[in-house]
Amino acid sequence: LKILDKKIWTYEQIDEIPEHSIILNGKEVEIMAASVKHGKWVFEVSNKLNKFFRKKYIIMVGEVGILINKKPLLILSADIVLVSKKKLKDISDRILEIPPDLVIEIEKEKEEVKIEEKINYYSSIGIKRQIWVLLSKREVLVIEDNKSVIYRFDDEIEILEGKKIKFSDIEKEVFK
Amino acid sequence: LVIKDNKSVIYRFDDEIEILEGKKIKFSDIEKEVIG
């Protein structure tokens, strides 16, 4: 975890924070560049979600900023985020200040924030459903209403609204 | 802004822009999808 600057950011300065930054307790933290594998996973998962959910949800990728706490300022970023079109009307230049309906994270080799911490932060703002794709173990951790279930890649896993995915199918697309 | 072989060309969103291998995109069409 590399802190980039001694400056302490506040919520009032939120629009001045550099893009592609995460903020932990007001401090800007370096984000590690992702691997080819990670990038391909994010694409293939979001490509699949697009077919299922594009009518009802806004699907966002590429480290979308999510406000976790105003004071001290805490902003995290997620790989894939879904918010219902009813909740998010404005496609703005700002980060998300409402809890998404779904966050999907693809495990990186080096995480800026520990997975357990990030899960707790996401739960703290009421993100309803989190899906963590744990590449190293070929497992998927699903967290909903503070309950967590671990699935294997070969299991059919509900994403939202009864729509299911086998991550072993996505894996095949990744390495095609 | 498209840069190829050290030559740069600026297009507008309404222009058809070649991405790769002759496949073209209008970024104004993408913009419509983004804004919904």
B10 CB within 8 Å of a chain A CB? no
B31 CB within 8 Å of a chain A CB? no
* pLDDT confidence tier of residue A134, bands split at 50, 70 and 90: very high
Interface predicted TM-score (ipTM) of this complex, two decimals:
0.84
What is the rounded average pLDDT of the residues B25-34?
96
What is the rounded average pLDDT of the residues A69-83?
96
What is the rounded average pLDDT of the residues A93-99?
94
Non-local CB neighbours of B9 within 8 Å, separated by 6+ positions? B1, B2
Please tell me the distance from the alpha carbon of residue B31 to that of residue B34, in angstroms, as a whole number: 5
The answer to whether the CB of A139 falls within 8 A of the CB of A115 is no
Residue of B nearest to A90 (CA): B35
Average pLDDT, chain A: 93
Instruction: Give the predicted TM-score (pTM) of the model.
Output: 0.92
Handedness of CA B22, A49, A118, A9 (dihedral sign): positive
pLDDT tens for A98-123 read: 999 999 999 988 877 889 999 999 99
B32 CB within 8 Å of a chain A CB? no
Share of chain A above pLDDT 90, in %: 80
State the smallest CA–CA distance between residue A91 and chain B in angstroms.
6
Share of chain A above pLDDT 70, in %: 99
